[in-house]
Amino acid sequence: MPMRKFISPEIIFGSGSIELVGQHASNLSPRRVLVVSDAGVREAGWTGSVEASLRNSGLDLSTYDRASANPCVEDVVRGARRYLDDACDLVVAVGGGSPIDCAKAIGIMAASGMDVRWFEGMDRVRVPGPPLICVLTTAGSSADVSPFAVITDREGRKKMTIINRLLVPDLTVIDPATTVTMDADLTTYTGMDALAHAFESYISNASSPLTYLFALEAVKLIAENLPSARQDPKDMGAREQMMLASTYAGLAFSNAGLGLLHAMAHSIGGFYDAMYQQAACALLEHVIEFNHPCAEERYLRLEVAMFGSARGKGPLIDLLGELRRDLGADGGLESIGVRRGDIHRLSENAIHDPCLATNPRPAGRKEVEELYERAM
């Protein structure tokens, strides 16, 4: 086995853990905390809960709750300015992948003084950001355990993927109760994103025995619990298991990488300023079909973990399509606004996404264009 390393933040998992944020933040003796969140999380009440916990622990704080659904360069610049102007020295991110990625980028920009666009790609962060505590409120992005940050460059109409171990949060607080405010569609698409994380990390050319178990357990838990979580938002058993699945999938891809699916979905999200998880859902079976010749045995093991038996490529693709239909998430790319005339530009951005580096099968512009066409 090649030499491997495994990265992870400190993890606190369980209902009620959100109440402990202030206690753990105070252990770091900060002068002032910057809370990073967004409007939806504020409206759901979770930003206020974290602010109350911090204040109850005697901490001074500032809040930046203007992260966009697809956090952009401008969001990061404003957040870094708030961090510096208010002399903060700790960041607490509250929300899903959007506020967490925004918080990561705010930290490295504030610490280095450099334009966040400079960090795009692998291992370009040289100066560590401030300590980062994450409070996760969705089951899917896994940004709270990962070394990734994805930021939209609206001027270039693309998503920038920043990958560096210095982006791994110091602590993540995972309270399944925070996900009961997710609506059915958000539950579905973040859950399917977690599934895509698990699939891509398992077949990645950087996967290893350190990541296999996390990916396989994630797909099993998602198959068993995502339909229930969508149908009944208050089903705490399903919510807890989906949070576990998201965490497992995140630990898998944080240490094995992703692949073609996320490279293509990121391109769509950046170009249209859209929810990339919907694109990932529409692309899933098509990318599996493309990668299958180079990862046949691994796909069989994923099929067993998810559906209990292995019957090959066709049945796996059929079962995933059936799952998407049951979840009301069976639309193609056209249904989310992708235009055929944009496919060439989308493909150009996708083939330069660093996620492509760990895909088991090489893919150039021609192959990516064909996959976009099939997924329309």
How far apart, in Å, do the first and last CA atoms of the chain sit?
40
| CATH number for the domain running over 10-177 | 3.40.50.1970
Per-residue pLDDT at 152: 95
What's the whole-number average pLDDT of the chain? 97
Per-residue pLDDT at 69: 92
- Residue count of the chain, please give it: 376
Q: Look up residue 334 and give its DSSP letter.
A: G
CA separation, residue 60 to residues 21, 52, 108, 110 (Å): 14, 11, 22, 19
The pTM score is: 0.96
Q: Which residue has the tokens 């966040």?
A: 116
Q: Where in the chain is the domain with CATH 3.40.50.1970?
A: 10-177
Return phi, psi of residue 161, to 5°. -100, 120
Give SS3 for 171: strand
Per-residue pLDDT at 100: 99
- Asked if 56 contacts 27 with a C-beta cutoff of 8 angstroms, the reply is no
Q: Where in the chain is the domain with CATH 1.20.1090.10?
A: 182-375
CA separation, residue 164 to residues 106, 159, 225, 282, 297 (Å): 14, 16, 32, 28, 30
Measured CA to CA, the distance from residue 127 to residue 114 in angstroms comes to 10
- Asked if 321 contacts 315 with a C-beta cutoff of 8 angstroms, the reply is no
Say if residue 371's pLDDT is above 80: yes
pLDDT tens by residue, 298-352: 999 999 999 999 888 999 999 999 999 999 999 999 999 999 999 999 999 999 9
178, 65, 70, 129: CA torsion to nearest 10: -100
Per-residue pLDDT at 310: 86
Query: In this structure, are strands 10-13 and 33-36 parallel, antiparallel, or unpaired?
Result: unpaired
Give SS3 for 36: strand
Residue-wise DSSP of 184-214:
HHHHHHHHHHHHHHHHHHHHSTT--HHHHHH
Report the half-sphere exposure of 327 (CA within 13 A, side-chain side): 31
Measured CA to CA, the distance from residue 142 to residue 246 in angstroms comes to 6
The percentage of the chain sitting over the pLDDT mark of 90, rounded to a whole number, equals 97
- Asked if 219 contacts 191 with a C-beta cutoff of 8 angstroms, the reply is no
CA separation, residue 334 to residues 216, 249, 278, 292, 342 (Å): 31, 28, 11, 25, 11
Question: Going edge to edge, which strands form the sheet with 121-122?
Answer: 121-122, 158-163, 148-153
Radius of gyration of the chain, Cα coordinates, nearest whole angstrom = 19
Say if residue 1's pLDDT is above 80: no
Per-residue pLDDT at 275: 84
pLDDT tens by residue, 228-255: 999 999 999 999 999 999 999 999 999 9
Q: Which amino acid appears at position 85 of this protein? A: D
pLDDT tens by residue, 214-225: 999 999 999 999
| CATH number for the domain running over 182-375 | 1.20.1090.10
Measured CA to CA, the distance from residue 36 to residue 365 in angstroms comes to 37
pLDDT tens by residue, 48-105: 999 999 999 999 999 999 999 999 999 999 999 999 999 999 999 999 999 999 999 9
